[in-house]
Structure 1
């Protein structure tokens, strides 16, 4: 009697590191894994001896290093929800007073401010596209950047996330936590809302976005180019990320490595810029493209050649 093998069923749980997603899903996803050889170790920011000692004491007090031992090599890639949909927030009573997205050390930060009269709720979400370390450093910076001799935050043993800290009070009103490549802060400024409930809501969003890669970055939704790539000194060069779908385009923005000694930026919008070279030579323009929905980013180098104007050396 012969044996015939039936169909092989592969179950891939995204939370299990090393289990790859289907190729078709990867190709259509707005993110991509970052090759390990392209991730440069993050250099710690320079701090004064006093600040370094303060950070070291805080790390020891909350068990910072031990908290991440055995953490899976995973990343979060997810569309972050509108904070006005958070638990306890009534859309009819709360307004969005601020919404800013910008690159910061090792990643991208988006900060929302909700207001109801004098009451205010602040939510900050930081996402790194180069691994977990910048998110951990973000927690340290947020907790220790104050005028006190020691950071006022204490560890919250039950989370959320891998490591969470809060102010020592019966009901948390200021929570900071880190989970994989994400760090989040929820702060109640006399808002009277349930901060732990909002934290659990955001943590649930992060957990649903777990991907089995140590680092993930945004996938460009269209071509990024400089026109012309060869120009004379002072000639306008258009740098643009071209996205045909207006809905997708509304989520994206670019930022330039603005070297004032090499280029002049004469115009800038969400998806493009007009620049002029200041001196003859070859240069590489660094462009950071940011998906404001996931807060993932991707950096591209755009080579340019600037030549002297006719009749000039």
Structure 2
């Protein structure tokens, strides 16, 4: 049997205490958030009743809508981050002179509610005394907010399991881009997001009961049924329990540091579809021999 080809990309650093793949946690002022929700009528917004309905798309497809070199834009960065709660974010940045263009697409693999919470967190994380945004265009997502005034330059919206952030400081309206992105998402709505996640068949450990100072190898075994996937495997541990020694695409080698039960959480992210699945394994560390 010919084994399906698989592109697995590893991240070369890990910071425990951040969310998955190193993206920092957003802090929200509760009072500021409540005032904002009341002002935009958040509780009256009608969202889809089925939390598993959402966008399942190869997000490379939005590249045709992005700023071009012909228009004077220089691609500055393109990154993928894992976030808490089964979210994956892809960020594109461009610059033209002193102007910047930023697109962030946050996709939830854990239900539409997670995307809405990320939307509220994203718009309410500000040092300003009042969240400045107002309701945005009704045609944009299930709920959108924007900076007041015209043209439309900074806009955020949520659509099923996706939260989109779009900013352009060049003075040109982002409405054509927003319409194209919304149309792209509408064309890729599926009834069951959970059935389209990348799959971890199992997570194995070389020793389920290592002693302190011994090495233990933790390996994720991705399901290879979709050979076109571009996957990233990561593990989250408490560094005071397991110290990272080396890593490969699917396996990390740790040194056991202190006795006790340690939980290793494996994350498998699809870098094209921005979907993620997670699995856990327990390591019972024994006292030093």
Q: 1:161 Cα deviation (Å)?
A: 0.5
Q: 1:59 aligns with which of 4, 18, 37?
A: 37
Q: 1:139 Cα deviation (Å)?
A: 1.5
For the residue of structure 2 that corresponds to 1:202, the secondary structure is: helix
Match of 1:104 in 2: 83
Equivalent positions of 1:226-245 (< 5 A) are: 226-242=205-221
Separation in 1, partners of 2:166, 2:103: 5
- Answer whether contact 2:67 2:73 (CA < 8 A) is retained: no
TM-score between both structures, scaled by the size of structure 2: 0.78
Q: 1:57 Cα deviation (Å)?
A: 1.2
Q: 1:193 Cα deviation (Å)?
A: 4.9
- Answer whether contact 1:130 1:217 (CA < 8 A) is retained: no
Separation in 2, partners of 1:304, 1:91: 54
Match of 2:190 in 1: 211
Q: 1:111 Cα deviation (Å)?
A: 1.5
Q: Deviations over 1:138-175 (max 9, x none)?
A: 22122121122211111114231100111112111111
Separation in 1, partners of 2:47, 2:162: 17
Separation in 1, partners of 2:58, 2:172: 23
Q: 1:79 aligns with which of 36, 55, 58?
A: 58
For the residue of structure 2 that corresponds to 1:232, the secondary structure is: coil
TM-score between both structures, scaled by the size of structure 1: 0.72
Runs of 4+ in 1 over 6 A off after TM superposition: 45-48
Q: Which runs of 5+ in 1 are unaligned?
A: 1-44
Q: Which runs of 5+ in 2 are unaligned?
A: 1-24
Q: 1:229 Cα deviation (Å)?
A: 4.0
Separation in 1, partners of 2:210, 2:77: 40
Q: 1:180 Cα deviation (Å)?
A: 0.7
Separation in 1, partners of 2:26, 2:200: 35
Decide which structure has the larger Cα Rg and report it: 1
Match of 2:129 in 1: 149
- Aligned residue pairs, count: 262
Separation in 2, partners of 1:169, 1:270: 48
Which of the pair has the greater relative contact order for Cα pairs under 8 Å at 6+ separation? 2
Match of 1:302 in 2: 281
Match of 2:246 in 1: 267
